[in-house]
Amino acid sequence: DKHGRNHKVLDVLCSLCVCNGVAVRSNQDLITENLLPGRELLLQTNLINYVT
């Protein structure tokens, strides 16, 4: 626990974001809305299976 940081908090957030290997988008969105108030500054990314 360094400067109020605790890895267990991230473990809990991760468990809320994924269930049986499948993303729980509604939980991800809620967490993002509450933890990242400046989220409009973030870039949206997508995974792709090919490179051009």
Question: Would the pTM of this model clear 0.75, i.e. be above it?
Answer: no
Residue 52's pLDDT is 65
* Contact assessment for residue 28 and residue 18, using Cβ atoms and an 8 Å cutoff: no
Torsion angle (degrees, nearest 10) of CA 7, 2, 43, 24: 20
Residue 41's pLDDT is 66
Residue 48's pLDDT is 77
Residue ranges per structural domain of the chain: 7-36
Burial class of residue 4 (count of CB atoms within 10 Å of its CB; 0-12, 13-18, 19+):
exposed
- Cβ contacts of residue 32 below 8 Å, gap of 6+? 39
- pLDDT tens across 2-50, in order? 666 778 888 898 899 999 999 999 999 998 888 877 766 666 777 778 7
Q: What is the CA radius of gyration of the chain?
A: 14
